[in-house]
Amino acid sequence: MTIHQSPPSSVLVIFGATGDLAKRKLYPALFKLYQKGHLSENFAVVGVARRQLTVEQFRGSVIESIRQTLNIDVDANMDSFSRHFYYHPFDVDDDSAFSQLKDRLNELDARFNVSGNRIFYLAMAPRFFGTVAVKLKRAGLTNIRGWKRLVIEKPFGHDLRSAQQLNDDILQVFTENEIYRIDHYLGKEMVQNIEVIRFANALFEPLWNNRFISNIQITSNETLGVGDRVNYFEKSGTLRDMVQNHMLQMVSLLAMEPPSRLNTEEIRSEKVKVLRSLRSLPPEEIDHYFVRGQYDEGFVNGERVVGYRDEDRVDPHSNTETFVAGKLMIDNFRWAGVPFYIKTGKRLAKKSTQIVVEFKDIPMNLYFNQSGQKGPNLLIMNIQPNEGMILHLNAKKPGPKGGTTPISLELTHHPVHTMNSRESYESLLLDCMLGDTTNFTSWDEVALSWIYVDPISLFWSNQKSQDFPNYKAGSIGPQSSHDLLAKDGFHWWSLPYNEKP
């Protein structure tokens, strides 16, 4: 094991320890951190959930989930790793159980010599977030000699009002600096790369404004349908599930001014300014800026799939959107007049998350009438899969007649980097243990995102969509999303990796 920067020792309490997130994301991420030597031997994990498991059964299920997710055999590390895991079954509705948890944590505190440091990770349904935080305080679990941190999964509220209520609840127990609101997109290597690409390259920063950029497109396509998240998704829809958090976070990273220092406060403050500059949309204008869709039956990766309304437990007349495309305007000096287009949906043809920066044409194109193909310069950032960047340029077509041909410079992550590229949760868990909140969402960002999104969701919930379902599963989305760009003279550059425009 190579020892890198080790976070201080701590006990991590995972509420929802038998759930999907814990098994598929948290345990594999913790194991990888352990393998890489990022966790000292002085750490313990306490799982909380209702089902009755012995500590051996719990450790077995942790190992199994790591094995399945990472597709690896049991190795010696796994056994020593799992000995840091404990299980404390109880129903969080039972107040008295919290004081028993307190005794258990005190005992592990001493055994693993963690100096009283505690992280509480709420990997359970959102309705528990506020109440669990308050109960932790009441039972004295947050009254400790070390530091305490609270990690909260998405969604942070359902709208501004509920988010404010949740925030008020947890602020009774944790300060803003102790709250780690997860947006797992911020843990992605290429999303973290946006700032570096922008602010560490003389080539890009001078061009990063409305004089040289015609539009920016951010796409996050899924091939999956609603799966077993129906109860949540029916009430949420894609606008709340994807736009309020991930898409707006990417917009703010792409549009922010260079921070005066690379610290959490300065970066967050610049992102907040972008969200404040978003043009708010009065109801009568929403249809000009946003379109929604819902998938019909179709074929995804060659397999027949049902339409959203025919999914198990979905209302057959559901008005919930599974697709959103929108045009966001940022009314500030840098971005006046440059549309930021976003597009995200379920059951689309191909899974990909991609940013395309389209540059304006040069003032006088000498090659305009020459034979061949000439496209705009594009900077493409592939967030997933195949992390990397491509820069599309125009060059001379080989041969005597000349003309132009598009060429691409591929700045692909080297295979070695890709292999070492960390999963979001690995990066975010380590940041949390190290006490770095930069890649988590601040309250101001959450609030401003809801302020932007709430009028759209209100407008949509009052107006039943007449054309749902309006795109076939396995397609590239509804026609309205293409029309949205076409009326501005643009089109989506949803290019597969390596494909030329």
Spatial contact of 73 and 32, defined as CB atoms under 8 Å apart: no
426 touches ligand NAP (CB under 6 A)? no
The alpha carbon dihedral of 278, 279, 281, 286 has a sign of negative
Please report the DSSP string for 113-145 in residue order: T-TT-EEEEE-S-GGGHHHHHHHHHHTTTT--S
Query: Of the two residues 56 and 93, which places its CB atom closer to ligand NAP in the complex?
Result: 93
381 touches ligand NAP (CB under 6 A)? no
20 touches ligand NAP (CB under 6 A)? yes
Task: Map tokens 């009314």 to a residue.
Answer: 331
249 touches ligand NAP (CB under 6 A)? no
125 touches ligand NAP (CB under 6 A)? yes
Query: How many residues does this entry show for the chain?
Result: 501
Residue from 28, 126, 339, 469 touching ligand NAP (CB under 6 A): that is 126
SS (H, E, C) 156-219: CCCCHHHHHHHHHHHHCCCCHHHEEECCHHHHCHHHHHHHHHHHCCCCCHHHCCCCCEEEEEEE
Residue 453 CB, nearest distance to ligand NAP (Å)? 17
Q: Is 299 left (phi over 0), alpha (psi -120 to 50) or beta?
A: beta
Catalytic one of 84, 246, 392, 413:
246
Residue 20 CB, nearest distance to ligand NAP (Å)? 4
> Checking DSSP bridges between strand 378-384 and strand 471-473, what pairing results, if any?
unpaired
Contact region with ligand NAP (CB under 6 A), list: 43-51, 172-180, 363-371, 378-386: 43-51
Applying CB under 6 A, the site for ligand NAP has a residue count of: 19
Contact region with ligand NAP (CB under 6 A), list: 11-19, 80-88, 138-146, 298-306: 11-19
153 touches ligand NAP (CB under 6 A)? yes
51 touches ligand NAP (CB under 6 A)? yes
Residue from 64, 79, 93, 315 touching ligand NAP (CB under 6 A): that is 93
In angstroms, what is the C-alpha Rg of the chain?
24
Q: Binders of ligand NAP among 389-418, rule CB under 6 A? A: none
64 touches ligand NAP (CB under 6 A)? no
Query: Of the two residues 50 and 161, which places its CB atom closer to ligand NAP in the complex?
Result: 50
Residue from 38, 118, 149, 154 touching ligand NAP (CB under 6 A): that is 154
Find all residues with CB under 8 Å of 20, minimum gap 6, and list them.
none
Contact region with ligand NAP (CB under 6 A), list: 13-21, 37-45, 60-68, 405-413: 13-21
In angstroms, how far is CA 334 from the centroid of its own chain? 25
What does each C-alpha distance from 76 to 31, 35, 63, 469 come to in angstroms?
12, 11, 11, 51
17 touches ligand NAP (CB under 6 A)? yes
91 touches ligand NAP (CB under 6 A)? yes
Residue from 123, 247, 379, 380 touching ligand NAP (CB under 6 A): that is 123
32 touches ligand NAP (CB under 6 A)? no
124 touches ligand NAP (CB under 6 A)? yes
The alpha carbon dihedral of 196, 200, 203, 204 has a sign of positive
Nearest-angstrom CA–CA distance, 200 and 411: 15
Query: Of the two residues 20 and 168, which places its CB atom closer to ligand NAP in the complex?
Result: 20
Contact region with ligand NAP (CB under 6 A), list: 89-97, 109-117, 169-177, 218-226: 89-97
Known catalytic residue at 317: no
**Strands in 333-443 per DSSP E:** 339-345, 352-359, 378-384, 388-396, 404-412
Using CB positions, name the residue nearest to ligand NAP: 19
Nearest-angstrom CA–CA distance, 157 and 137: 21
235 touches ligand NAP (CB under 6 A)? no
Peptide linkage before 385 cis (omega within 30 of 0) = yes
50 touches ligand NAP (CB under 6 A)? yes
Q: Residue 441 in 3-state DSSP?
A: coil
Residue 388 CB, nearest distance to ligand NAP (Å)? 25
Cα angle 387-408-327, degrees, rounded to a multiple of 5: 65
Contact region with ligand NAP (CB under 6 A), list: 64-72, 86-94, 234-242, 395-403: 86-94
Contact region with ligand NAP (CB under 6 A), list: 72-80, 90-98, 211-219, 489-497: 90-98
Residues carrying an active site annotation: 246
Tell me which residues touch ligand NAP (CB under 6 A): 16-22, 49-51, 91-93, 123-126, 153-154
